[in-house]
Chains A and B, each alone.
Chain A
Amino acid sequence: MADIESSLLEIIKENAVGLTGEPTRETAIADLGIDSFAVVEIIYEVEEKLSIEVPFNANENPLANMKTVGDLIDAVKEMSGQS
C-alpha cells in the first residue's frame, strides 16, 4: 500500500484550487478551496490509490470536525487500519 500521508498530500495538491504552495499537515482545510467536484474526486482518488473504501456519506459532512489536512490524513489512516 502506498504511503498514506504522501499520497494524500499529492491528491490534495492536484485538486485543491485555492491552495498556494505545498500542502502540509498544518494547512487549514478551509484554505484548500475545495469545491463540490473536488470533494468527490479526492475521495475517489484516495480509494483508488490506497485501495480502501471511504465510508463517506455526503449527507453527514464528515469534514465537520476536521480543521487541518493533518486531521484528514489521520482519518484516512484510521479507515485503512494504519492509525
Chain B
Amino acid sequence: MTGPVTDGATGHGSAIAAGKGPRRVVVTGMGAVCATGASVEDFWTNATNGVCGTEIRTIKANDGTEITVPVAQADAWRALNPDLGRDIARADDFSKFAAFAADEAVKASGLDFAERDLGGRTATIIGTGIGGQSSLEDTYINMLCFEKRPHPLTILRLIPNAAASHLSIRYGLRGPAFAISSACASGAHAIGVAADLIRAGSCDAAVAGASEAIINKGALQAWKQMHILSDGLCRPFSKNRKGLIIGEGAGVLVLEEYERAKARGATIHAEILGFGMNADGKDMINPAVEGAAAAMQAALAGVRLPDAAKIYVNAHGTGTLMNDPTETKAIRATLGADADHIAVSSTKAMHGHLLGAAGGVESIMAIKALGAGVVPPTINYDVPDPECDLDVTPNEARERPIELAISNSFAFGGLNAVLAFGRV
C-alpha cells in the first residue's frame, strides 16, 4: 500500500497503530435506530439487502400547516413504542432515540457500570446537530398561535446536552459528559473525542454516539430553502442526484480501553485505529477538498494500511451536487492510485441523512462491514458521474474482506471528522 497519506496532514489526528500506543480503544457495544431498523441486526440486514427507508410524506405542524417532502422516519421504532422509563418518556425524541440505542449498546457490551464503580470512569458524549428542535417548534406554535404557555420542561427537552445528561443519569455514568454539536459531523466528533479521552486516560470507557430528531415542518422547510433536499430518491454519486433526504434516529457505541475489554473477555467489534478532525476554514456551505482530505489523512496517519482491496470507505455521500465530487477528490487525494481499488459506498440513500447522528449510525455501518466482510451498497445509483468515479458499490451489497473501514463526516460550516476502524 503506497498511498500518499502523510503524517504531516493538518488538523488533529490521533491515530495509534496497533500495538504502538499505550492505550488502545475498542468498540464493545453498538446500538442503532433509524428508518432502516430499530436494532443493529435489523439495520445491518436491511443495509445488506439494499432496503430504501426514504419516502415522500406529509409532515403536519400543530397549527395545521404541512409540508410534503421525502423523509426517512424511524417507523419500526414508533411501531415498537418502547417503554424507556419515566424521565425519558417526557423528553424530546432525540433523547428517546439516544436512550433506545444506548440501551442496546450497553446491554450488548455486557458492562456493569456499578462494578468497581466503572460508572465513575465512564464518559457520556452524545452529539446532536440541533437537539430538541421539534419540542421548540411545538412550543412556539402553541405560544404564538394558540397563546399557550410553554411546558415547564421545554428547556430540559431542547437543550442539546439533554441526551447526554439522560444517559449519564440512566446508567450512573459520572465521567466527562457533554454534547458535541458540529452539524453533520457531530456523531463522528463525539465518538472520536470519546476515544481520545480514553486514550488520554481521562476515562476507561465511554457511551458515545449521536442522536437527531428534527423531522418537523419548520426544520424541513428551512432545509428546503437551502435547495439541497431531493424531491424523490437520494442518489449518492449518481449523475442525476438531486439532493439529500432528512432522516432521524441515533447510533451509540460503547467504547472501552482495550486491555480492560480483553481482560473481561468482552466481544470486541473493532478497534478505533484513528480519528482526524479539522476545519476547512473557507465556506459555510461549500465543502473543500483540502479540508476533507486533510481530515482523512489525519485519521490514517500512523495506521498501517492494508491492500487497497481491503479498504472500505463509508462515505459522507449526501447525494448533493457539491458533496459527492468533493468527497471523491478528497478520497483520491488521500489514497492516491489506490483509490481505484477500494470499496466506497454511501448508505444515506437507505437510512437518510441523520445529520448530527449520521456519524453514529454510519460508524456502526462501517464496523458491521468490517466484521461481516460485506460492503453495503449505494442504492438508487442510476447514472455514472465522471466527477464521482470511485467504485461506489452500486445497488448491490458485495462480499469483500475488509481490514480497514473508514467513516467520513463533513459538516456544514466546513467541519470535518473522520474515523478509522480495524480489527484488534
Residues of B within 8 A of A43 (CB): 152
Cβ contacts A10-35/B at 8 Å (1 or 0 each): 00000001000000000000000001
Least CB distance, B116 to chain A, in whole angstroms: 28
The size class of the interface chain A forms with chain B is under 10
Residues of B within 8 A of A41 (CB): 90, 152-153
Shortest Cβ distance from A17 into B: residue: B86
CB of B87 closer than 8 Å to a CB of A: yes
Residues of A within 8 A of B152 (CB): 40-41, 43-44
- In the assembled complex, the Cα of A14 lies from the Cα of B146 at a distance in Å of 25
Contact of A37 with B90 in the complex, beta carbons under 8 Å: yes
Give the interface SS of chain A, mostly helix, strand, loop or mixed.
helix
- In the assembled complex, the Cα of A40 lies from the Cα of B156 at a distance in Å of 11
CB of B262 closer than 8 Å to a CB of A: no
- In the assembled complex, the Cα of A44 lies from the Cα of B155 at a distance in Å of 14
Contact of A40 with B86 in the complex, beta carbons under 8 Å: no
Shortest Cβ distance from A44 into B: residue: B152
Residues of A within 8 A of B151 (CB): 44
Residues of B within 8 A of A47 (CB): 149
Cβ contacts A39-75/B at 8 Å (1 or 0 each): 0110110010000000000000000000000000000
- In the assembled complex, the Cα of A53 lies from the Cα of B191 at a distance in Å of 45
Cβ contacts B75-94/A at 8 Å (1 or 0 each): 00000000000110010000
Shortest Cβ distance from A42 into B: residue: B152
- In the assembled complex, the Cα of A37 lies from the Cα of B153 at a distance in Å of 7
Least CB distance, A8 to chain B, in whole angstroms: 17
Residues of A within 8 A of B86 (CB): 17, 35, 37
Least CB distance, A39 to chain B, in whole angstroms: 9
Residues of A within 8 A of B90 (CB): 37, 41
Least CB distance, A59 to chain B, in whole angstroms: 15
- In the assembled complex, the Cα of A40 lies from the Cα of B87 at a distance in Å of 13
Interface centre among A17, A37, A41 (most CB of B within 10 A): A37
Residues of B within 8 A of A17 (CB): 86
- In the assembled complex, the Cα of A58 lies from the Cα of B195 at a distance in Å of 39
Least CB distance, B96 to chain A, in whole angstroms: 15
Residues of B within 8 A of A44 (CB): 151-152
Residues of B within 8 A of A37 (CB): 86-87, 90, 153, 156
Least CB distance, A1 to chain B, in whole angstroms: 18
Least CB distance, B331 to chain A, in whole angstroms: 47
Residues of B within 8 A of A35 (CB): 86-87
Least CB distance, A31 to chain B, in whole angstroms: 17
Cβ contacts B355-395/A at 8 Å (1 or 0 each): 00000000000000000000000000000000000000000
Interface set, chain B 148-184, CB cutoff 8 A to A: 149, 151-153, 156
- In the assembled complex, the Cα of A25 lies from the Cα of B62 at a distance in Å of 38
- In the assembled complex, the Cα of A47 lies from the Cα of B149 at a distance in Å of 10
- In the assembled complex, the Cα of A35 lies from the Cα of B156 at a distance in Å of 14
Least CB distance, A26 to chain B, in whole angstroms: 25
Interface set, chain B 292-336, CB cutoff 8 A to A: none
Residues of A within 8 A of B156 (CB): 37
Residues of A within 8 A of B153 (CB): 37, 40-41
Least CB distance, A16 to chain B, in whole angstroms: 11
Shortest Cβ distance from B150 into A: residue: A44
- In the assembled complex, the Cα of A41 lies from the Cα of B90 at a distance in Å of 10
Least CB distance, B162 to chain A, in whole angstroms: 12
Residues of A within 8 A of B149 (CB): 47
Cβ contacts B84-117/A at 8 Å (1 or 0 each): 0011001000000000000000000000000000
Shortest Cβ distance from A38 into B: residue: B86
Shortest Cβ distance from A47 into B: residue: B149
Least CB distance, A13 to chain B, in whole angstroms: 14
Least CB distance, A54 to chain B, in whole angstroms: 11
- In the assembled complex, the Cα of A35 lies from the Cα of B86 at a distance in Å of 10
Cβ contacts B127-164/A at 8 Å (1 or 0 each): 00000000000000000000001011100100000000
A-B residue pairs, 10 tightest by C-beta: A40-B152, A44-B152, A17-B86, A37-B90, A37-B87, A40-B153, A44-B151, A37-B153, A41-B152, A41-B153
A sample of 7 cross-chain residue pairs with beta-carbon separation below 8 angstroms, ordered by A number, consists of A37-B86, A37-B87, A37-B90, A37-B153, A37-B156, A44-B151, A47-B149
Task: Give 4 new A-B contacts, CB below 8 A, not counting A35-B86, A40-B152, A41-B90.
Answer: A37-B86, A41-B152, A43-B152, A44-B151
